[in-house]
């Protein structure tokens, strides 16, 4: 398995610094948060995109994915949601990134069946477009569909390889789902895995990997036994928790912890 981290842990950090930190701490890739407050988002032009791609190539670091905020199950018209995803897919293509992250985002007023059908319809359409760009749209286990079972309900309705799943191990755990059940549901669709650690279900402030309650050891063992050889991406949610320790000082120990888990699982 290859190791990456998300720029959510270092809000606004210039791309050369992101690449330098990844390379110096032994990571293979980076997940780029695509938001207007970040250096990389769909609003940047062709020259900026080319510069970002060149920076990563020169540093020998892959761009694992573009973490967008489109909500595929949200109520409303399909058009604006699909336009948002297409813009993210075009950005990913221009940067050489194989994946785009989207959220479910269903409202409390929607029935589960309606939310699932809406998400599946939009993912089907978005995946058709993205596949032509060499990009895959990944539905994260999050918010209204935080378990693997819930995400799989949607993805099982989508008949395209261009749509898949992003397993956020915190959200499936918070949803009361055992890692074995999460993996069983997501395995046919799995794009990559987001790892993190927290103190408890009540306190989700990000912690250094291995110091909290999330079942990271079990998750890595499951993936290893299954022969899965994808990405583990550390999503340290510093952006939402200003009091959390800076990610920069944790990157080395975090990579060492994940490497130990991988070695023990092997």
pLDDT surpasses 90 at 160? no
Say if residue 186 is exposed, middle or buried (CB neighbours under 10 Å; 0-12, 13-18, 19+). buried
pLDDT surpasses 90 at 38? yes
Mean pLDDT, to the nearest integer, of 213-225? 97
Q: Report d(CA 150, CA 140) in Å as an integer.
A: 10
Mean pLDDT, to the nearest integer, of 118-122? 98
Q: Report d(CA 23, CA 27) in Å as an integer.
A: 6
Both structure tokens of 222: 């499951």
Residue pLDDT, tens place only, 164-182: 999 999 999 999 999 999 9
Contacts of 155 (CB under 8 A, 6+ apart): 120, 123, 139, 163, 164, 165, 188, 189
Mean pLDDT, to the nearest integer, of 189-206? 97
Mean pLDDT, to the nearest integer, of 204-228? 97
Nearest partner of 187 among 159, 216, 158, 151, judged by Cα: 151
Higher-confidence residue: 72 or 159? 72
Q: What is the pTM of this model?
A: 0.97
Mean pLDDT, to the nearest integer, of 124-145? 97
pLDDT at 266: 83
pLDDT surpasses 90 at 202? yes
Residue pLDDT, tens place only, 64-92: 999 999 999 999 999 999 999 999 999 99
pLDDT at 161: 86
Mean pLDDT, to the nearest integer, of 113-129? 97
pLDDT at 241: 94
Q: Report d(CA 257, CA 209) in Å as an integer.
A: 7
Q: Report d(CA 251, CA 31) in Å as an integer.
A: 14
Give the fold, CATH level 3, of 2-265: TIM Barrel (3.20.20)
pLDDT at 159: 83
Mean pLDDT, to the nearest integer, of 102-113? 97
Mean pLDDT, to the nearest integer, of 33-58? 98
């Amino acid at each position: 398995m290859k190791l990456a981290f998300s720029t959510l842990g270092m809000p606004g950090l210039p791309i050369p610094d992101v690449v330098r930190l990844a390379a110096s701490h032994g990571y293979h890739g980076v997940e780029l948060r695509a938001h207007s407050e970040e250096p990389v988002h769909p609003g940047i032009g062709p020259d900026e995109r080319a510069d970002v791609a060149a920076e990563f190539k020169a540093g020998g670091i892959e761009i694992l994915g573009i973490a967008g905020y489109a909500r595929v199950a949200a109520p409303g018209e399909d058009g604006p949601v699909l336009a948002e995803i297409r813009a993210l897919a075009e950005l990913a293509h221009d940067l050489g990134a194989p994946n785009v992250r989207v959220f479910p985002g269903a409202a409390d007023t929607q029935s589960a069946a309606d939310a699932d059908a809406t998400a599946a319809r939009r993912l089907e359409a978005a995946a058709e477009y993205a596949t032509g760009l060499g990009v895959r749209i990944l539905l994260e286990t999050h918010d209204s569909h935080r378990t693997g079972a819930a995400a799989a309900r949607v993805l099982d309705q989508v008949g395209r390889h261009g749509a898949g799943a992003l397993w956020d191990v915190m959200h499936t755990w918070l949803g009361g789902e055992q890692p074995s059940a999460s993996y069983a549901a997501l395995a046919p669709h799995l794009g990559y895995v987001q790892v993190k650690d927290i103190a408890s279900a009540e306190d989700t402030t990000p912690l250094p990997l291995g110091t909290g309650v999330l079942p990271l050891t079990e998750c890595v063992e499951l993936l290893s036994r299954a022969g899965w050889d994808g990405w583990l991406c550390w999503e340290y949610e510093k952006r939402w928790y200003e009091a959390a320790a800076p990610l920069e000082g944790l990157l080395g120990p975090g990579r060492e912890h994940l490497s130990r888990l991988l070695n023990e699982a092997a």
